[in-house]
A and B are shown apart, each in its own frame.
Chain A
Amino acid sequence: DADVTQTPRNRITKTGKRIMLECSQTKGHDRMYWYRQDPGLGLRLIYYSFDVKDINKGEISDGYSVSRQAQAKFSLSLESAIPNQTALYFCATSDRRTYNQPQHFGDGTRLSIL
């Protein structure tokens, strides 16, 4: 079983719909992150959380919201999806002990907004 699980793996939806992407982890890590990947743009940070009830904006948080329901769960919501939010979304976790710990990524959610 994967340590970092993202659901769904693929989603096609329409402009204006509300969408939630879920992430759960079994690594016991405190830190969780949401990234999006666009062709030619690498990975850009949307939101991150260092603990339950801790939420921080990343580089491109506009149009997104998150919820850290438990240590193991971090969900990303698009309240009203728009076509330029079509992208590959990754959840990641890392150990809280020091800032310089590598991140562990899920296999991604491919989101298409028509």
Chain B
Amino acid sequence: DQQVKQNSPSLSVQEGRISILNCDYTNSMFDYFLWYKKYPAEGPTFLISISSIKDKNEDGRFTVFLNKSAKHLSLHIVPSQPGDSAVYFCAASSRDDKIIFGKGTRLHILP
């Protein structure tokens, strides 16, 4: 039973355009959500997070939106740059210390 789903294994976006990565969750106990970025041969690195009391969090080119009623969150990258090509993992955590990662979405930024 996948509690955190990233349904797009890969996504290609033109450089300079907006990249939108999506994540759905099923467990209503999750109340904190994080996005991690992973380059080949490196560990995941934390990118941005959002608490369930908010519906938006912004950090430079990265914005995360949370729709609690739909149990859906999305990561927007504007404008997309070549260095954004990586695998992006969505993760969800709850107060009982459960942390679940999605399967990841590979983002390709095209020149």
Q: Do A108 and B99 contact each other (CB < 8 Å), given the known contacts A42-B89, A99-B32? A: no
Which chain B residue shows the least CB distance to A90?
Answer: B43
- A24 → B minimal CB distance (Å): 14
A-B contact count (CB 8 A): 52
Q: How far is A41 from B102 in the complex, measured between Cα atoms in Å? A: 8
Interface size class on chain A is 20 to 34
What is the number of residues of chain B that contact chain A, defined by CB distance less than 8 Å?
25
Which chain B residue shows the least CB distance to A105?
Answer: B43
Q: Is the CB of A103 within 8 A of B49?
A: no
Q: Is the CB of A104 within 8 A of B89?
A: no
Which chain A residue shows the least CB distance to B2?
Answer: A42
Which chain A residue shows the least CB distance to B48?
Answer: A102
Q: Is the CB of A105 within 8 A of B51?
A: no
List of B residues within 8 angstroms of A43 by Cβ = 44, 89, 91, 101
Choose among A41, A99, A102, A106 the residue that contacts B43 (Cβ–Cβ < 8 A).
Answer: A106
- A49 → B minimal CB distance (Å): 11
List of B residues within 8 angstroms of A44 by Cβ = 101
Q: How far is A19 from B83 in the complex, measured between Cα atoms in Å? A: 36
Which chain B residue shows the least CB distance to A91?
Answer: B43
- The verdict on A4 contacting chain B, using a C-beta distance below 8 Å, is yes
Choose among B42, B45, B95, B103 the residue that contacts A42 (Cβ–Cβ < 8 A).
Answer: B103
The A21-46 residues at the B interface (CB cut-off 8 A) are 33, 35, 40-45
- A87 → B minimal CB distance (Å): 14
Q: Which 8 A-B pairs have the closest CB atoms?
A: A105-B43, A102-B46, A42-B103, A100-B32, A43-B101, A42-B101, A107-B43, A105-B44
Q: A residues within 8 Å of B by Cβ?
A: 4, 33, 35, 40-45, 48, 50, 90, 92, 99-100, 102-108
Q: B residues within 8 Å of A by Cβ?
A: 6, 9, 31-32, 34, 36, 41-46, 49, 51, 89, 91, 93-95, 97, 99, 101-104
